[in-house]
Amino acid sequence: MPTRGKVYVVDDDEAMRHSLEFLLGSADFDVTLFDSAQAFLDALSALEFGCVVSDVRMPGIDGIEMLRRLKAQHCRFPVIIMTGHGDVPLAVEAMKLGAVDFLEKPFDDNLLMSMVESGLRRAEPEARNEALTREVAVRVESLSPRERQVMDGLVAGLSNKAIAREYDISPRTIEVYRANVMTKMQAGSLSELVRLAMRAGTLKD
């Protein structure tokens, strides 16, 4: 059964972690708990897109330093920072570092869920877009040097014959390379290949 989205709770307070797990889980969010920012950062590369709900004050790497590291890695996960009384300056710093929102403890349960929903809704399209760009780059890397030359020729508007003349090989061979390019790039048409090349940044002006 699909959930409303993934939420990663980062807090060294065990009682708070399990309280948030119950609250968000009962609202159909898929919740994963981390007892430190380091544990979350170590797992980050294997995590699917989701919203991070983190305390700001934690031993070791605190919420502010975690945000700095996420920013350095160009991570697009929306982050909501939980702050204690008197931590507004920290909350402002967190927002400057990319946090989408902050909550002062004690907070209203409905407000937290609203923030999580909003964070996921706003950030997901951009995160998916970046993921697709990375995927297309991997497809380009899978091309052989000759296949890459053929793709560059195709997206430049050259015919099979023109590409064949440029590299002094037969048009029939170009057809084979062209089929390989379309398969590896997962392009169903030449126009789609052009769009993928543009996304990968390989289309020359």
**pLDDT 10s digits, 14-61:** 999 999 999 999 999 999 999 999 999 999 988 988 999 999 999 999
pLDDT in tens, 119-128: 888 877 676 7
Residues of the chain with CATH 1.10.10.10: 142-200
Token pair for residue 144? 């052989």
In this prediction, residues 75-104 reach a mean pLDDT of 86
Domain 142-200 belongs in CATH node 1.10.10.10:
yes
Which residues is 10 bridged to in the sheet?
A: 34, 54
DSSP string, 35-76: SSHHHHHHHGGGPPS-EEEEES--SSS-HHHHHHHHHHTT--
Of 80-84, 110-114, 124-128, least confident by mean pLDDT is: 124-128
pTM of the complete model: 0.65
* Edge-to-edge strands, sheet with 79-83: 30-34, 6-10, 51-55, 79-83, 101-104
Residues of the chain with CATH 3.40.50.2300: 6-124
Asked whether 77 and 51 are in contact (CB, 8 A), the reply is yes
pLDDT at residue 183 tops 90: yes
pLDDT at position 205: 46
Token pair for residue 15? 């009682």
**Residue 205 CB burial class (10 angstroms; 0-12, 13-18, ≥19):** exposed
pLDDT at residue 204 tops 80: no
Q: Report the CATH architecture of 6-124.
A: 3-Layer(aba) Sandwich (3.40)
